[in-house]
Chains A and B, each alone.
Chain A
């Protein structure tokens, strides 16, 4: 301890520079990626819009008005109306809540399972490791969308009866999308664990008598988080696309819940006289996914120490 204090004192005497922690360093690198910073702003605005938007724009999502069918954008309906005269802005704001909530919740499931599997495989080694990695590879070669459709087809009714329609579908969609997205995180975490557990600082902690859970949680896992955070950002985008795909195929949330994919599903037969109906929700999905992908790219720059960015 004394040695390190002394060393830092000499360093600060030689070159008066504020001490930079790993997170500040990451933030410094992230800021360099201009598009990632802009995307953070765009995503923040989108999240803000869907969270407080419905409180400001109070038109109901399901008010049927046959005098205003399939209208283009106007002052009364900034994004136009659908075939029942329902306000599209209100529906898109409401749908965004679901799409984003599914995206983040499914990411949380995927990362939780992935970190768990990867950590167990990386720490245990041997037969456990081999079995878990075989399972991971098996899941990687499963055709995800057909299985997603199959599971939703088979289990929808029971879960709906158990916890109600919307919540039931939400839980199922999140669990299933997350359940098919954990493999990349598991592989990353395992690879990190394999190299980290042999490092000197882990050995030192072990020599000091740290228990196994403490080794994993305090010493190894925090150092393995960088690639996991990058994978997590990509998972959010993938989960949003997966949910929208389900809804677009007419098999996700019930028809009266206007998720972004569902709006596109409803709009696709009216493309010739109401293009705005498809364009706005599609643009919402695109903008969300694009900004998340750019944030992921920025995070990769920020959190991968091997990556050298030109100053």
Chain B
């Protein structure tokens, strides 16, 4: 298992490098000078500007620039935000926990919906429950996150006036009241993401369970006289999870897209809304860094999926 994990880790490194090359290529191909703001400031005399350009390495050949950029990123020197003048890594570290919390909790919600509904629907294919669940799942993943968000705001914030629709970082209350307020303002962002993912996963789980449930070893388990619940939980679900884990890992980029939109709608102060703000104010270092962080997160979740995969299917980790 440990060896398998190490191998996976080593495979992840070229992917990360590949992503950094793509990111850097996009930046290098971009017309104009992304660091124009610094280098063409009229308050800076031409010789100082030339010196500045040289010291920033802007006149070097492109592969040298890539390596100096990469080594700076690896050393944790991510530059300063043009707008707020604080180091980019600090800015991202401030915001990252919120994003991780929103994404993590919404995935938990999605799993809590998809697992029971998908398994139950698959054990009774074409029943009324299955058909209703299937229809709801189709509606769920056809509703784009930005529209669901607006619908929830209309219903729960405007019509019913139950939930706040702007996420506040500074809540005056303390103790239990703080948690309660936090809970109230987090419900909608988490629900928007969680319901969308839950709908997609319900279909994955259902079809994966349907594939497994017809196999011979399940019939064997049944003929041994095992109770149906035990067959479903121990024999079917564990094997059905193998393809689901792969599909879920492939969905991670979609989850991050959803997180960006959700943070933007509810003004959640995470790295997604940081990215949008940075783009609207031409804050290149922040844009690059946030995009890189998102890429790293996707790779991390793929790695996590690989580990889960090895645990679910021991044959894989011995190969």
B139: chain A residues at CB < 8 Å are 290
Size of the B side of the interface (Cβ < 8 Å), in residues, is 51
Q: Check B144–A145 contact: CB distance below 8 A.
A: no
- Whether A147 contacts B291 in the complex (CB less than 8 A), given A141-B253, A154-B30, A249-B261, comes out as yes
* Cβ A249 vs Cβ B264 within 8 A: yes
Q: Kindly identify which residue among B14, B142, B146, B256 contacts A261, using a CB–CB cutoff of 8 Å.
A: B146
* B-chain residues with CB within 8 Å of residue A157 when the two chains form the complex: 31-32
A20 CB, nearest partner CB in chain B, Å: 26
Q: Give which listed residue, A141, A241, A251, contacts B15 with CB less than 8 A.
A: A141
Hey, what's the 0/1 contact readout for A17-52 against B, CB within 8 Å counting as 1?
000000000000000000000000000000000000
B22 partner residues in chain A, CB cutoff 8 A: 138, 142, 147
A275 to B159, CA, bound (A): 11
Q: Is A151 an interface residue (CB 8 A)?
A: yes
A268 within 8 A of partner (CB): yes
Q: Does A259 contact B (CB under 8 A)?
A: no
Within 8 A of A (CB), among B254-272: 254, 256-257, 260-261, 264-265
Are the CB atoms of A282 and B150 closer together than 8 Å?
A: yes
Majority DSSP secondary structure for residues of A touching B: helix
Q: Is the CB of B298 within 8 A of A141?
A: yes
Known: A151-B26, A154-B26, A285-B144. A142 touches B253 (CB 8 A): yes
- Do A241 and B256 touch across chains, with their CB atoms under 8 A apart? no
Say if the beta carbon of B221 comes within 8 Å of chain A: no
Chain A residue with the shortest CB-CB distance to B143:
A286
**A158 contacts partner chain B, Cβ-Cβ < 8 Å:** yes
Interfacial chain B residues near A244, Cβ < 8 Å? 144, 146
Asked if B173 lies at the interface with its beta carbon under 8 angstroms from chain A, I say no
Residue of A nearest to B14 (CB): A134
Partner of A146, one of B31, B34, B275, B282: B275
| A76 → B minimal CB distance (Å) | 25
In the complex, what residue of chain B is closest to A155 when comparing beta carbons? B30
Chain A contacts of B144 at CB under 8 A?
241, 244-245, 285-286, 289
- State whether B146 touches A245 (Cβ < 8 A): yes
Give the residues from 120 to 163 in chain B that come closer than 8 angstroms, CB to CB, to chain A.
Answer: 138-139, 141-147, 150-151, 153-154, 158
Within 8 A of B (CB), among A240-281: 241, 244-245, 248-251, 261, 264, 267-268, 271-272, 275, 278-279
| Residue pair B256, A143 in contact (C-beta under 8 Å) | yes
* Contact yes or no, B19 A264, CB < 8 A: no
Given contact pairs A149-B279, A150-B26, A237 touches B142 in the complex (Cβ within 8 A): yes
Rounded to whole Å, the gap between the CB of A200 and the closest CB of chain B is 28
- Chain A contacts of B290 at CB under 8 A? 146
Q: Which chain B positions have C-beta within 8 A of A140? A: 250, 253
Q: Does A286 lie within 8 Å of B19, measured CB to CB?
A: no
Q: Is B9 an interface residue (CB 8 A)?
A: no
CA distance A285 to B295 in the complex (A): 28
Q: Which of B34, B256, B257, B299 has the most CB of A within 10 A?
A: B257
- Complex CA gap A141/B15 in Å reads 8
Considering only residues 1-59 of chain B, those with a C-beta below 8 Å from chain A are 14-15, 18-19, 22-23, 26-27, 30-32, 34
B90–chain A nearest beta-carbon distance, Å: 20
| A residues in contact with B150, CB < 8 Å | 264, 267-268, 271, 278, 282
- Assess the A293–B138 pair: CB atoms within 8 A: yes
Contact of A144 among B19, B158, B257 (CB under 8 A): B257
- State the Cβ distance, A197 to closest chain B Cβ, in Å: 25
Taking a contact as CB atoms under 8 Å apart, the answer to whether B287 and A144 are in contact is no
Q: Is B294 at the interface (CB under 8 A from chain A)?
A: yes
Q: Are A142 and B153 in contact (CB under 8 A)?
A: no
Q: Is the CB of B154 within 8 A of A249?
A: no
- Interface presence of A294 (CB below 8 A): yes
Residue of B nearest to A267 (CB): B150
Which residues does chain A contribute within 8 Å of B299, judged by CB atoms?
141
| CB atoms of A293 and B253 under 8 A apart | no
Q: Is B242 an interface residue (CB 8 A)?
A: no
Q: Does B226 contact A (CB under 8 A)?
A: no
Contact call A141/B138, Cβ cutoff below 8 A:
no
**A248 near B302: Cβ-Cβ < 8 Å:** no
Answer whether residue A65 sits at the interface, using C-beta atoms and an 8 A cutoff: no
Question: Which partner residue on chain A sits nearest B30 by CB separation?
Answer: A154
Q: Are A268 and B265 in contact (CB under 8 A)?
A: yes
Cβ-closest 8 pairs across A and B: A145-B257, A154-B30, A143-B294, A290-B142, A282-B147, A158-B31, A146-B291, A289-B142
Chain B residues at the A interface, C-beta cutoff of 8 Å: 14-15, 18-19, 22-23, 26-27, 30-32, 34, 138-139, 141-147, 150-151, 153-154, 158, 250, 252-254, 256-257, 260-261, 264-265, 275-276, 279-280, 282, 287-288, 290-291, 294-295, 297-299, 302
**7 contacts across the A-B interface (CB closer than 8 A):** A146-B291, A147-B26, A150-B288, A154-B30, A158-B32, A248-B261, A271-B153
